[in-house]
Structure 1
Amino acid sequence: MPDTSPAVAETFQDQRDRLRAVAYRMLGSHADAEDVVQEAWLRLSRQDTATIHNLAGWLTTVVGRISLDVLRSRQARPEASYDDRLPEFVVTVDDGPAPEDEVALADSVGLALLVVLESLGPSERLAFVLHDLFGVPFNEIGQILGKSTAATKMLASRARRKVQGTERQPVTGQEQREVVDAFRAAVASGDFERLLRVLDPDVKLTVDTPGGVVVTLGATKVATGAQMFSRAAARQRTVLVNGLPGFLSWRENGTPLSLIAFTVANGRIAAITAVADPTKLASMDLPDPA
């Protein structure tokens, strides 16, 4: 018989944050991740838990399977254009570093990595996320995929090569803010040389525009684009984007112009992710101008 006892429910609640993190890194959407976790709970409620020897592992496997189904469903709907979709952004007011801010930052997956994960095939993404980010053994991942352990290792290895360079040494929230503040000051002053110094030579700028996602590589091109784009901003406000320092810009008429987030490594900006599509900005839950 299914077991919905308080003990099982409590165990599930203890695992909820971890399961949500797995689903989010698979799907790049907090709403989709929440739906996946809820579906996992429904499946658990129909399961005889006496047959489950490792409930945490069972839940991770179920979340992985459901997420894989969602990814494959996306690929079957080419009109949805998921191939170049940016991850979902959660924007909050940046009131400065708090004690929990440093812990959250150290445990976060940077936007640069999330963007690269979006480019992986469903099987590659599952193998990489479950093994490299959450430590699930390859033989268990292989059971989800219907592949051998060796084949699953190959998938993870291929995915790892694609994301190489996006995983950086974690830095504190305050260090990130200082670098982002230096970027903003250089843009505001029009100091091109100073702007180049704060950008990694191989910096990657990914912008979600009305015409699709546009990628720019290299400090010189990114610096030029940043200067041109900043001239259209009438007001700006510092925010956190998925826990990373960024800022919001508004036009003179009060409509959002852009949302920008930064990934900082080795004292320089390694990646910039931005939304400049008015329709997508209008659909976001954004703070008001300061």
Structure 2
Amino acid sequence: MVHLFIAGELARRQCPVHQKPAPGGTCRLAERPGLPLRRAIEQKLQARHRASSLIKGLNRALVAFSGGVDSTLILRLAHEELGSNAVAVTAVSPSLARSDLAAAQDIAREIGVAHELLESTETEDPRYRRNDPQRCYFCKTNVYQAIIDFAGQEGFTWILDGTNADDLGDHRPGLRAAREHGVRSPLQEAGIGKEETRAWARELGLSNWDRPANACLSSRVPYGSEVTPAKLAQIEQAEAALRELGFKELRVRHHDQVARIEVTRDQLPRAIEQGDLITKAMRQAGFSYATVDLAGFRSGSMNDVLRKR
């Protein structure tokens, strides 16, 4: 069933398809001027059909699975289309928080699909550790090579990932590594963006459909500052402490002795109120100082320095 919400006042009152309150805003397809509702629905269904058909024709496939909503949707579709010929694989290294690994394992069990954990060695690669703007490329090169090696051993012919159409608009050198290693991206290839991905995941009953976007722990280290397992452990501990304090969408950016904390703007007053607890938690994680970024949470904020060039 397609959930499609029309722009304007109607969207705030009801879904034109189901005649009930529209949860969570508007659909970008319906917002396009002059595009009839029927055509918008047709385009959404066609995009979904393209993604499912792509997967159905792949015989046996591994899904590079992070536990985020994008790769979860792909895993669910692969399980539907390929059954036991679809298997989730998660690369485990110091750059993956243990809480993210546990969440991925829970989701794989929820879907009912086999889940393999592969050791990846990107943190041992000096090109990755030096942390220039191509770090993600070297990370994914290591990860995809580990998955390709596993695929060859187990007789899998394809690798899928959760890249969606909106991912093409940011600095993502990892996408180049995916293409070089023959990884297929059904959502991106079908033209399905993040909003549509979440809507589809919700309709399928996936429990993490609204999980905030996340990235590897290395994304918290400024370019030019070496990535080390010790720094990644600090970041993981610090972010876990903030979640225990009730913050959900957050980042702890590692600036040597300083933990620069990003929370959503509506949570900034609470972060200030809990300043003593936060400072204590950051010190326990190994930082000397804690600071709250007044600009609030921004996914990919470390790329700001690249946009200014």
Considering Cα pairs closer than 8 Å and 6+ residues apart, tell me whether 1 or 2 has the greater RCO: 1
TM-score by length of 2: 0.22
